[in-house]
Amino acid sequence: MTKRSSQMDSGSGVSLGARLIVAAPYLWLLGFFLVPFLIVLKISLSESAIAQPPYLPVLDLTAGLRGLRDFVSGLSFTNYFTIAGDDLYLFSYLKSLEVAAVSTTILLVCGVPLAYAMARAPRAAQPLLVTLVMLPFWTSFLIRVYAWINILQRDGLLNQALIRLGLVEEPTTWLATDTAVYIGLVYSYLPFMVLPAYASFEKFDESLLEAAADLGCPRWRTFFVITLPLAWRGLAAGALLCFVPIVGEFVVPDLLGGSEATMIGQTLWTEFFANRDWPAASAVAVALLVLLLAPIAIYQHLQTREIKVRQ
Amino acid sequence: MRRMSVTNLVALALGLAFLYVPIAILVVYSFNASRLVTVWGGWSTRWYAALLEDRAMIDAALASLLIATVSAALATVLGAFAALALTRFRFRGRLPFAAMIYAPLVMPEVITGLSLLLLFVAIDLDRGLFTIIIAHTTLTMCFVAIVVQSRLATFDRSLEEAAMDLGCPPGRTFFAVVLPVIMPAVIAGFLLAFSLSLDDLVIASFTTGPGATTLPIRIYSEIRLGVKPEINAVCTIFIAVVAATVVAASLIEKSRGREARALLA
């Protein structure tokens, strides 16, 4: 922000319109984004109960200070001890981190060459290529996962093709395996990796590459010595944009994965919808958030830096 | 100089094939005459005809369209305000505000959904279409804010200054100068919000109530039971609508790629 940008809010005449422009989204996000988190935090410290709502204690504001004291003394860390003590949750978290780390790595390996090729394509073709990569992102997530069920099921097209080619005798099981989950995740998140990577490849000065080529640097080496160091911010943003949501992913592992080792998003879903244990679900959510705090903070840092650079 | 190497061409071809072949297969098989989804029985539109009879599916689609329209409209106004607030105003709490704009973009959906549901229960709000609209507005306004903000950041401020130097009041400057310039980004933001809302399964599942079923919730419950040609037909219609919208959007906004990249970069 420079001093030029302060004219609209300078002086005493901060207009009603200006106040509204700041206040409306601010209040909306406070009410529907921040407050809900505080409620999750509070309920994660409550106990499950057969009541409506199904947890205790409930803050009784009409009882004044005594009500507040009763409320605070009713809070406990029981749910967190349960989570920490139960292997099911621990495995769930570890499984989620593993799946997210592996699929983000695959996404980097697949996405970076694609993004680089887009940035090296003729200028006139680039907007079309961006649209082509964006288009699947605009179609439904659910539909993209469903498309893979068509292909991966036991008598699906992949097995038909493999048998016709003589590569396998019997149909192989693809659905309900980790392989299917990885295919689904890479397929769904590829645009999130490619577009930020493309944006940073496309931005930098091409004469650097020409200079390297003139000085006899082989092309693959130019890529590692010049291109990657200059573009790493975009790649990191893309990787985090994939990693963080994948840790909490529900749809892909639920539809393509097996039932033996579930990811944390599925555990939370089951806790909430099947077991109706709201405090446990809340505690799982808070623990998940704590786990993701560091990657989210790094992502935010990269983003806010991007804004400063742009201004 | 702009000759592409073979490696780059292969990377492009493989990447695009990977993105499009599964969708193409899905679309082709929606026209399969056979009930068995894996056996090709010739071309037919019978599954589309069957869809017209499926009252529950049509109701779910209508509910989804209603939710997407209302929440995208709300999100566009709030998101554009947020973008203006971030780029044009200095105020206390600007950093926490920016953090609240960026956080929902990466927040796992299960957490957003759960937290909003617990809020609705705490304030004793009856759940249904209305609560899904609030939830979708909250999520999508952040996407709109980022799309519009990238447009504002590259906007030539001297136009605005010139208008005000000539005595144009700030409010009028906004409508006469700023709004026309950011309009393409606002429209792109609306379309993005609309398609995100239409697409959402997880947040809607948490925040819905009895009697409010959206299209993704309906499709999800069908998919869990296995592959069905009718679902291929629904998905094909969905893809056609989205493709038409995107083509329309890129005709409106020729440089849409910039917002798209800014959104994800």
Task: Give the helix, strand, coil percentages of chain B, each rounded to 5.
Answer: 75, 0, 20
Q: Does residue A108 carry a pLDDT above 90?
A: yes
pLDDT higher than 80, residue A303: no
**Chain A closest CA to B28's CA: distance in Å?**
11
Total residue count of chain A as it appears in this document: 311
Q: Among A5-14, A24-33, B157-166, B201-210, which is the least confidently predicted range?
A: A5-14
* In a domain? residue A51: no
Contact A149, B227 (CB under 8 A): yes
* pLDDT score of B68: 94
| Residue range A21-34, pLDDT digits in tens | 889 999 999 999 99
Q: Over 60: is that where the pLDDT of A149 sits? A: yes
Side-chain-side CA neighbours of residue B57 (13 Å): 19
Interface of A with B in 51-110 (CB under 8 A): 53, 110
Mapped onto helix, strand or coil, the DSSP state of residue A171 is coil
DSSP string, A99-138: HHHHHHHHHHHHHHHHHHHHHHS-GGGHHHHHHHHHHHHH
Residues forming beta bridges with residue A47, ordered by sequence position: A56
The closest CB to that of A151, out of B22, B103, B138, belongs to: B22
pLDDT at A207: 81
Instruction: Indicate the pairing of strand A55-56 with strand A47-48.
Output: antiparallel
Report the share of chain A in percent with pLDDT over 70. 85
User: May I ask the CATH architecture of the domain B55-264?
Assistant: Orthogonal Bundle (1.10)
* B contacts of A146 (beta carbons < 8 Å): 26, 219, 223, 227, 231, 235
Domain hosting A94: range is 83-310
Question: Which residues make Cβ contacts (< 8 Å) with residue B14, sequence separation at least 6?
Answer: A114
Q: Are B137 and B190 in contact (CB under 8 A)?
A: no
Alpha carbon of A184 to those of A142, A180, A264: distances in Å? 10, 6, 17
Q: Do the domain assignments include residue A287?
A: yes
Tell me the chain B residues in contact with residue A37 when contact means C-beta distances shorter than 8 Å.
Answer: 115
B217 pLDDT band, cuts 50/70/90, is very high
CATH code for position A212: 1.10.3720.10
Give the residue ranges of DSSP H helices in chain A: 16-29, 35-44, 64-74, 78-85, 87-120, 126-138, 141-152, 157-164, 178-203, 206-214, 219-222, 228-247, 251-256, 264-269, 278-310
Count A/B contacts: CB-CB distance under 8 Å: 307
Domain count of chain A? Answer: 1
Cβ–Cβ under 8 Å, residues A296 and A54: no
Q: Would you say residue A210 lies in a domain? A: yes
- Whether ipTM > 0.90 holds is no
**Residues 176-195 in A contacting B (C-alpha not used; CB under 8 Å):** 187, 190-192, 194-195
Quote the pLDDT of residue B131: 95
Residue B116 has a pLDDT of 95
Which string of DSSP letters, residue by residue, matches B109-164?
Answer: HHHHHHHHHHHHHHTTPPPSHHHHHHHHHHHHHHHHHHHHHHHHHTS-HHHHHHHH
pLDDT at residue A157 tops 60? yes
Cβ proximity of B124 and A53 under 8 Å: no
Look at residue A193 and tell me whether its pLDDT is greater than 70. Answer: yes
Q: For residue B2, what pLDDT is reported? A: 55
Instruction: State residue A15's pLDDT score.
Output: 75
Rounded Cα–Cα distance for residues A209 and A221 (Å)? 11
Q: How confident is the model at residue A109 (pLDDT cuts 50, 70, 90)?
A: very high
CB A280 within 8 A of CB A81: no
